[in-house]
Structure 1
Amino acid sequence: MRGRSPGVPADAPGGVPRDPAPAPGLELVCDESGYEGENLVGGITDVFAHAGVVIPVADAADCIRELRGRIRSPATVYKANHLQREKHRGTLLWFLGPDGPLPGRARVHLTEKAFFAVARVVDLLVAGTDPADAAAMLRGAHPRGPAGVLYREGPAGYGRERWQAFLASFNELMWINTRRGAETSADGFFLLADALHREGAPGEAGRMLGLVRQARPRAEALRAALLADPRTVPALDSLLPALAAGVGYWGRDGAAVTVVHDRQTALTEERVARLYEVCRPPRAHLRALRFVDAETDPRAQLADFLAGIARKRASDALAGLADPELDELLRPYVAPDSAWGDERSWALLDPGPARQAGLTSA
Structure 2
Amino acid sequence: MTATAPLVVACDESGNDGENMLSGRSTVFAHASVTLSPDHAAELMDEIRARTRSQATELKSRTILQPRHQGAAKWLLSHPSIEGSASVHLTHKKYFVVSKLFDSTAEELAHELGEDIYETGVALAGANLLFFLAPQSYGTEWDRLLMTFQRFMRAEDVVQAQEYLARLIRSMVELLADGDALARDVLGTVFAGFGHLGSLSKLQLGEGVEERLRTMDPLISAVGAAVHFWASISGRPVELVHDAAKVLTPVKVEWAKRFLAHPEGIAPSRQGLASELIDVRLVNSQDDPRVQVADLIAGIGRIVGESMVHEQQHPLGLSLAPMVSGASLWPIRENMNVEKAREAMLSQF
Per the normalisation by structure 2, the TM-score is 0.82
Could you say which structure has the higher helix fraction?
A: 2
Map Cα deviations across residues 37-62 of structure 1 (whole Å, 9 max, x no partner): 22111221111111100000011111
Which position in structure 2 is the counterpart of 1:31?
12
Which position in structure 2 is the counterpart of 1:206?
184
Report the AA paired with residue 158 of structure 1: Y
- Checking the alignment, whether the CA contact within 8 Å between 2:7 and 2:236 is kept in structure 1 is yes
Higher relative contact order, structure no. (Cα contacts within 8 Å, ≥ 6 residues apart): 2
Does residue 316 (structure 1) correspond to residue 307 (structure 2)? The answer is yes
Report the AA paired with residue 138 of structure 2: Y
CA distance in 2, matches of 1:45, 1:142: 29
Q: Alpha-carbon deviation of 1:91?
A: 0.8
Rg comparison, structure with higher value: 1
- Aligned partner (choices 289, 293, 297) of residue 280 of structure 2: 289
Map Cα deviations across residues 61-80 of structure 1 (whole Å, 9 max, x no partner): 11111111111123221111
Which position in structure 2 is the counterpart of 1:13?
none
- Checking the alignment, whether the CA contact within 8 Å between 1:40 and 1:113 is kept in structure 2 is yes
Which position in structure 2 is the counterpart of 1:11?
none
- Checking the alignment, whether the CA contact within 8 Å between 2:95 and 2:330 is kept in structure 1 is yes
Q: Alpha-carbon deviation of 1:100?
A: 5.3
Report the AA paired with residue 220 of structure 1: G
User: Where do 5+ consecutive residues of structure 2 fail to align?
Assistant: 111-115, 263-271, 335-343, 345-349
Report the AA paired with residue 309 of structure 1: I
Secondary structure, counterpart of 2:29 in structure 1:
strand
- Aligned partner (choices 161, 166, 191) of residue 170 of structure 2: 191
- Checking the alignment, whether the CA contact within 8 Å between 1:94 and 1:100 is kept in structure 2 is no
Which position in structure 1 is the counterpart of 2:82?
102
Shift of the 201–295 alpha-carbon distance from structure 1 to 2, 3 Å rule, reads: farther
- Checking the alignment, whether the CA contact within 8 Å between 2:253 and 2:279 is kept in structure 1 is no
Report the AA paired with residue 290 of structure 1: R
Which position in structure 2 is the counterpart of 1:222?
200
Shift of the 78–240 alpha-carbon distance from structure 1 to 2, 3 Å rule, reads: same
Shift of the 128–232 alpha-carbon distance from structure 1 to 2, 3 Å rule, reads: farther
Identity %: 29
Per the normalisation by structure 1, the TM-score is 0.79
Alignment RMSD: 2.8
Report the AA paired with residue 68 of structure 1: R
Q: Alpha-carbon deviation of 1:210?
A: 2.3
- Checking the alignment, whether the CA contact within 8 Å between 1:29 and 1:299 is kept in structure 2 is yes
Which position in structure 1 is the counterpart of 2:134?
154
- Checking the alignment, whether the CA contact within 8 Å between 1:186 and 1:216 is kept in structure 2 is no
Shift of the 29–201 alpha-carbon distance from structure 1 to 2, 3 Å rule, reads: farther
Secondary structure, counterpart of 1:279 in structure 2:
helix
CA distance in 2, matches of 1:256, 1:294: 23
Q: Alpha-carbon deviation of 1:254?
A: 2.4
Shift of the 145–343 alpha-carbon distance from structure 1 to 2, 3 Å rule, reads: closer
Q: Alpha-carbon deviation of 1:339?
A: 0.5
Does residue 251 (structure 1) correspond to residue 242 (structure 2)? The answer is no
Secondary structure, counterpart of 1:127 in structure 2:
helix
